[in-house]
Amino acid sequence: MHSQKHSRMPVCFNSANRLRIVKIRAIRAEGPRFKTFTFQDESCGKAEPGQFVMVWIPGIDEIPTGLSTITPKGLTSMTVARVGEATEALFQRKPDDILGIRGPYGKGFTLSRGNLMIAGGGTGLAPLMPLAEKLVKHSTKLTFLLGAKTKDELLFLDRIDKTLSKVNTEIIATTEDGSYGLKGVVTDQAEQRLANEKFDMVYACGPEEMMHKIFLLAERYQTPFQASLERIMRCAIGLCGSCVVGKLRVCKEGPVLTSEQLRTVEGEFGKFKRDFQGRKIAI
């Protein structure tokens, strides 16, 4: 998710928005561009897959990010790409360094039963991992499509295999350069499967162009769809308007939006986002 340009300590409006100081328990490199940071936080242990937190890097910035691990005991992870000043500073942190956490915020994924599809790309795979770990208890079959530009950027391969090994699943990995799995993109695989198989729900997170294409496929094949969107977020509680898509606030009505909600913002979804000044820019 996007970084913000303010380094002051975030203001807390109420107890639910209280900033909590946590220590980094562990850091794991996930290829050349990604790292997973693990910490202990009771409130995050109650998060739903797809919700997000605001992470304060002392003296630098506050950024929104999804959660890649959620456990009832509060052991929590976030998986982050190095994309700007704030994440660069986060990547310099070491175990036992402190971070500020507030949240979780927003609407997460709604769990469905039956024949389900998950489609993810890049760090979009992060919030899909806690979702998959819950869905294995509900699905009759789970199809997991994951993609990246190259093998080095494919996240959680071992974890996906381990999570889904005991249930009826199909795991399809794609890379644009053909360095792992099938050469191509996730949307190609989604189209093939939606054309030949009836799904009860499709879940997606990743580049917005990818999600938009899968949304259109889901509409064509009359399949319910949920997608987790990414926008600039400052307040995270629906006040500042920096994250709006159409009339929806991604931090409040999202970040997970349903087919019904996405139909109301078709003029922007997959086409435009807003910059730090609130101006529409092409995706």
CB 235 within 8 A of CB 213: no
Class for the domain spanning 15-105: mainly beta
**Per-residue confidence band for 17, with pLDDT thresholds at 50, 70 and 90:** confident
Report the pLDDT value the prediction gives residue 196, as an integer from 0 to 100: 96
Output the pLDDT for position 16: 52
What letters, b where the CB count within 10 A reaches 16 and e where it falls short, cover 65-104?
Answer: bbbbbbeeebbbbbbbbeeeebbebbbebeeeeebbbbbb
Give the tens place of pLDDT for each residue, 189-201: 999 999 999 999 9
pLDDT value of residue 281: 83
Beta bridge partners of 119: 145, 204
Domain ranges for the chain, please list them.
Answer: 15-105, 107-227, 229-283
What is the mean pLDDT of the segment spanning 126-150? 95
DSSP SS3 for 264: coil
Q: Which residue has the tokens 């890649």?
A: 68
Tokens of 213: 């294409």
* CA angle (169, 228, 210) in 5-degree steps: 75
User: Which residues face 211 on adjacent strands?
Assistant: none
β-pair partners for 250: none
The whole-number pLDDT of residue 264 equals: 96
Instruction: With a cut of 70, say whether residue 14 has pLDDT above it.
Output: no
Class for the domain spanning 107-227: alpha beta
State percent of the chain over pLDDT 90. 80
Measured distance CA(162)–CA(150) in Å, rounded: 22
pLDDT band at 15 (very low <50, low <70, confident <90, very high): very low
Q: What is the full DSSP assignment across 144-174?
A: EEEEESSGGG---HHHHHHHHTTSSEEEEEE
Sequence-separated (6 or more) residues with CB below 8 Å from residue 104: 43, 44, 46, 47, 48, 51, 52, 53, 67
Residue 257, CB-side half-sphere exposure with 13 Å CA sphere: 28
Q: Collapsing DSSP states into helix, strand and coil, what is residue 55?
A: strand
- Band of pLDDT at residue 176, cut at 50, 70 and 90: very high
In terms of pTM, does the model score above 0.85?
Answer: yes
pLDDT tens-digit readout, 79-126: 999 988 999 999 999 999 999 999 999 999 999 999 999 999 999 999
